[in-house]
Amino acid sequence: MLKLYDCSTAPSPRRARMFLAEKGIEWETIEVDLRVGAQMSPDFLAVNARATVPALVTDEGDVIGENIGIAAYVEALHPNPPLLGTTPLEKARVLEWDFRCTMDGLAAIAEVLRNSSPHMKGRALPGPRNLDQIPALPERGLKRLAWFFEDIEAHLATSEFIAGDHYSMADITMTVVFDFSKWIKAQPGPDHTALHAYMASMRARPSYNL
């Protein structure tokens, strides 16, 4: 059985949980409590030297430590339902939009949180190395996120899903972006009607509650 090193309170491993659930796959969860620094323990560093979750351990004992790698591995073994596209163009669109949601959404929120939270002083980036916070970055992160939500609102005015005509990895990432934005009190306003309607449909999926 697949083993997933997880943290139930963190947004990044939630993407892996949702992907596995959408595939209908069973897995074993090993909780890594980031709130107490468990990712820096020798035991976990022996699994993933980058000190980040998620980390997926395959049946053969190999470790995959990034969401996109986990998705590619699982999709190759379990192609249905397809979450990374089926045609060459669909595959390109899913990766394109997943990247945009990751970089313009998740990264913008992390930029705010990691550079403003007193609890993350000296931990401005994830991983085994410490970095000081940069006080100017939270303002930039909030602007980036607002622009991203504007772009997504315009996109969803003509599309049911983030990438193409079917639910995909990009929708998983967008769902996590929307919920993660609560952490910095920067959720879209009521004028983002298409985005709110989209999120209502996402919340109806069983994987949403993972």
User: Quick one: pLDDT at residue 99?
Assistant: 98
User: Quick one: pLDDT at residue 102?
Assistant: 98
- Domain end marker among 77, 96, 122: 77
Asked if residues 33 and 21 have their Cβ atoms less than 8 Å apart, the reply is no
Angle, CA of 139, 142 and 148, to the nearest 5° = 145
What does each C-alpha distance from 86 to 17, 40, 77, 79, 111 come to in angstroms? 22, 38, 14, 9, 33
Q: Is residue 72 part of a domain?
A: yes
Q: Provide the residue range defining the domain that includes 17.
A: 2-77
In a shared domain, residues 66 and 92:
no
Angle, CA of 179, 80 and 100, to the nearest 5° = 35
Q: What is the DSSP-derived secondary structure letter of residue 37?
A: T
Question: 3-class DSSP state for residue 120?
Answer: helix
Q: Is residue 30 part of a domain?
A: yes
Q: What is the DSSP-derived secondary structure letter of residue 105?
A: I
User: Quick one: pLDDT at residue 11?
Assistant: 97
In a shared domain, residues 44 and 111:
no
In a shared domain, residues 100 and 201:
yes
Alpha helices in the chain (DSSP H): 11-23, 42-47, 67-77, 88-100, 107-114, 137-156, 169-180, 193-203
In a shared domain, residues 152 and 199:
yes
In a shared domain, residues 106 and 205:
yes
CATH of the domain at 177: 1.20.1050.10
In a shared domain, residues 118 and 190:
yes
User: Quick one: pLDDT at residue 171?
Assistant: 98
Neighbouring residues of 47: CB distance < 8 A, sequence distance ≥ 6:
5, 55, 57, 63
pLDDT tens across the length of the chain (210 residues): 999 999 999 999 999 999 999 999 999 999 999 999 999 999 999 999 999 999 999 999 999 999 999 999 999 999 999 999 999 999 999 999 999 999 999 999 999 999 999 999 999 999 999 999 999 999 999 999 999 999 999 999 999 999 989 999 999 999 999 999 999 999 999 999 999 999 999 999 999 999
User: Quick one: pLDDT at residue 186?
Assistant: 97
- Domain end marker among 56, 77, 98: 77
Asked if residues 170 and 202 have their Cβ atoms less than 8 Å apart, the reply is no
Largest CA distance in the chain: 49
- Domain end marker among 29, 53, 77: 77
Q: Is residue 83 part of a domain?
A: no
> Count of domains in the chain?
2
Question: Between β-strands 27-31 and 55-57, what pairing exists: parallel, antiparallel or unpaired?
Answer: unpaired
Token pair, residue 49, equals 């030297």
In a shared domain, residues 56 and 99:
no
55 C-beta neighbours (distance < 10 Å), count: 24
CATH of the domain at 52: 3.40.30.10
In a shared domain, residues 114 and 190:
yes
In a shared domain, residues 204 and 155:
yes
User: Quick one: pLDDT at residue 168?
Assistant: 98
Q: Is residue 82 part of a domain?
A: no
In a shared domain, residues 168 and 71:
no
How many angstroms separate the CA atoms of 84 and 94, rounded? Answer: 6
92 C-beta neighbours (distance < 10 Å), count: 13
Reported pTM? 0.97
